[in-house]
């Protein structure tokens, strides 16, 4: 699994002109799922996301986590995070999980984030043509990949 975590002051997602999710302060999480991903990857990534201390404290240092700022999460599925761009100019998405594998993991990620934060995770719609807007705070953007962790 791969996630792009953006600290935001606001973010929203629209599908066909209708808002499917919106938040104020918190994280916009773009989530890519590949065929090799497991429940263990999901649990590790969810813990990292909710524990990430990238909000400023009273001294302007990044020491506060999502819970410390009463923040929320907007979760967006993003298969393009697994784009392979080595050959040619048209990316290949062969490593991205197909919907039959990706949808259950995406839905489980939302439920896991709900449980870890005690709040409902706002979300886009898997596979839809989504219009995502955000105000990146900082900007602070962190890229996480479950294949890069130490076991």
Residues 5-16 have pLDDT tens digits of 999 999 999 999
For 74-104, give the DSSP string.
EEEE-GGGG-B-SSSSS-B-TTBPPHHHHHH
Average pLDDT along the chain? 96
Confidence band, pLDDT 50/70/90 cuts, at residue 23: very high
% of the chain exceeding 90 in pLDDT: 94
Name which of 26, 4, 8, 2 is nearest 119 in CA terms: 26
- 80 classed as catalytic: yes
Q: Above 90 in pLDDT, residue 73?
A: yes
Q: Which of 80, 85, 117, 135 is catalytic?
A: 80
CATH topology of domain 2-148: 3.50.80
Q: Above 80 in pLDDT, residue 38?
A: yes
Parse the chain into domains and list their residue ranges: 2-148
């Amino acid at each position: 699994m791969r996630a792009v975590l953006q600290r935001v002051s606001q973010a929203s997602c629209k599908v066909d002109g209708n808002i499917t999710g919106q938040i104020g302060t918190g994280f916009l999480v773009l989530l890519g799922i590949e065929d090799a991903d497991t429940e263990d990857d999901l649990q590790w990534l969810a813990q990292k996301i909710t524990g990430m201390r990238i909000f400023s404290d009273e001294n302007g240092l990044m020491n506060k986590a999502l819970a410390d700022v009463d923040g929320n999460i907007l979760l967006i599925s993003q298969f393009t995070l697994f784009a392979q761009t080595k050959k040619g100019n048209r990316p290949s998405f062969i490593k991205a999980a197909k919907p039959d594998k990706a949808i259950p993991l995406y839905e489980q990620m939302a439920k896991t984030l709900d449980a870890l934060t005690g709040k409902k995770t706002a979300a886009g719609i898997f596979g839809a043509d989504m219009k995502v807007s955000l105000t990146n705070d900082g900007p602070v953007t962190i890229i996480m990949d479950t294949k890069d962790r130490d076991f």
